[in-house]
Amino acid sequence: MKTRVLIIFIVLSFFTTQALGKINGYISFDYSKGQKQSDLSNGAFNNARLGLIFSGDISTKINYLSEISLQEGGGVDIEQAWVGIGTSEAFNLKLGLYLVPFGKYNQSNRAHQTLLIHNPLNVNFIFPTRWKDVGILVEGRSRIISYAVYWGNGLSESQNLRGGQQFGDNNADKGKGGRIGLFLSKGFEVGYSYFRGKFDDDNSRSLILQGLDLSWMSEGFQIMSEYTRADVGNPEGFSNGKAEGYFIQASFDIKNLRPVVSYQRIKYTDDFHGPGFIKNVAAGEGILMEKSCWALGIVYFPSPNILIKLGYDINREEGVEQKDNIFSVQIGLSF
């Protein structure tokens, strides 16, 4: 049934787009080979992804966008599906399914939008990959300030923070948050993100996420950084959970090559969740994680819409001697 509905949706979107708007898309896949103690010690092609974006204007003040991605194994995701009402650049209202504006990486994480092959540690573990929500989003921008405020179903409780994606709502509370950005000079932006919502079925315990992001772009040089913190409300008898992490990334241009280096770190402790956790049934074994990573890479652009990435991740975990560094290749294109 899900597949039939998706096919009908794509067909209808296609004909609507032909009349009103346009189609964009992207394709990417990876090859990864890790050391003997990694999950990819044998080497594998993985993370194949195809995305289609349908967008257009219904009137001068009403527009729409839908994004569908097909992933390896036959998985199908609707990444975005919203109707927008905009009166000016300073005020735009979106109704439907939107990418959550938490930091900057979450909204620009497709292969052709990033220089790294794998998500930074804090992005990978502290909130769901490609985090999206159903609800209301208001955003806008002036000369020196950008803002986004949203109200949606929020996240649900899971074994860990990255597993909290949902599309319905598991309680009566709504997730709310936003991001504010300040443009300090040309190419230099600082942003603060906040999210708060009850995430358990009993509507009694809160999850709070906060983030700081910084980006500086000059001709031929780029620096990006994001810091993320999560405070997890746990039941009586258990200490509250906490996760904290960041990444720093630098890159520069050499004709159609872009070398990139990133340092990443995360510390995640939680007495209540973790492996074995079953919602409303059993507590987990707990989470105690402290990891760091040096990600080294180079990106080659044979044309503006095609890129080939080579990357090597040097992984370290506190108190664990493990040979799990990973070499990866990624090919991506957009159209």
Please give the angle made by the CA atoms of 274, 278 and 281, to the nearest 5 degrees. 130
Please give the angle made by the CA atoms of 98, 301 and 32, to the nearest 5 degrees. 75
**pLDDT for 75 beyond 70:** yes
**pLDDT for 18 beyond 70:** no
Average pLDDT over residues 85-98: 94
**pLDDT for 329 beyond 60:** yes
Instruction: Please tell me the distance from the alpha carbon of residue 308 to that of residue 327, in angstroms, as a whole number.
Output: 14
Paired with 227 in beta bridges are 212, 246
Average pLDDT over residues 241-260: 97
Q: Please state the three-class secondary structure of 77-126 as a single string.
A: EEEEEEEEEEEECCEEEEEEEEECCCCCHHHCCCHHHCCCCCCCHHHHHC
Instruction: Please tell me the distance from the alpha carbon of residue 258 to that of residue 160, in angstroms, as a whole number.
Output: 34
The set of residues, in sequence order, having a beta carbon less than 8 Å from that of 33 and lying 6+ positions away, is 40, 41, 42, 43, 44, 326, 327, 328
Query: Which pTM was predicted?
Result: 0.91
The tens digit of pLDDT for each residue in 173-188 reads 999 999 999 999 889 9
Average pLDDT over residues 186-194: 95
Token pair for 203: 């509507």
Number of neighbours of residue 221 by Cβ within 10 angstroms: 12
**pLDDT for 284 beyond 80:** yes
**Concatenated DSSP letters of 198-234:** E-STTS--EEEEEEEEEEEEETTEEEEEEEEEEEE--
The tens digit of pLDDT for each residue in 235-246 reads 999 999 999 999
The set of residues, in sequence order, having a beta carbon less than 8 Å from that of 22 and lying 6+ positions away, is 54, 55, 56
Question: To which residue do tokens 């346009």 refer?
Answer: 22
The tens digit of pLDDT for each residue in 39-73 reads 888 999 999 999 999 999 999 999 999 999 988 76
Residue 173: its pLDDT value, please?
97
Q: How confident is the model at residue 19 (pLDDT cuts 50, 70, 90)?
A: low
Instruction: Please tell me the distance from the alpha carbon of residue 130 to that of residue 307, in angstroms, as a whole number.
Output: 21
Helices (H), 128-255: none
Residue 7: its pLDDT value, please?
55
Average pLDDT over residues 250-264: 97
The set of residues, in sequence order, having a beta carbon less than 8 Å from that of 109 and lying 6+ positions away, is 119, 123, 129, 130
Residue 319: its pLDDT value, please?
82
Give the 3-state secondary structure of residue 23: strand
Q: How confident is the model at residue 37 (pLDDT cuts 50, 70, 90)?
A: confident
| Averaged pLDDT score across all residues of the chain | 93
Domains (range + CATH), the chain: 80-334 (2.40.160.10)
Average pLDDT over residues 211-233: 96
State which amino acid sits at residue 295.
A
Q: Let me know how long the chain is.
A: 335
Instruction: Please tell me the distance from the alpha carbon of residue 24 to that of residue 38, in angstroms, as a whole number.
Output: 36
The set of residues, in sequence order, having a beta carbon less than 8 Å from that of 76 and lying 6+ positions away, is 2, 3, 6, 68, 69, 70
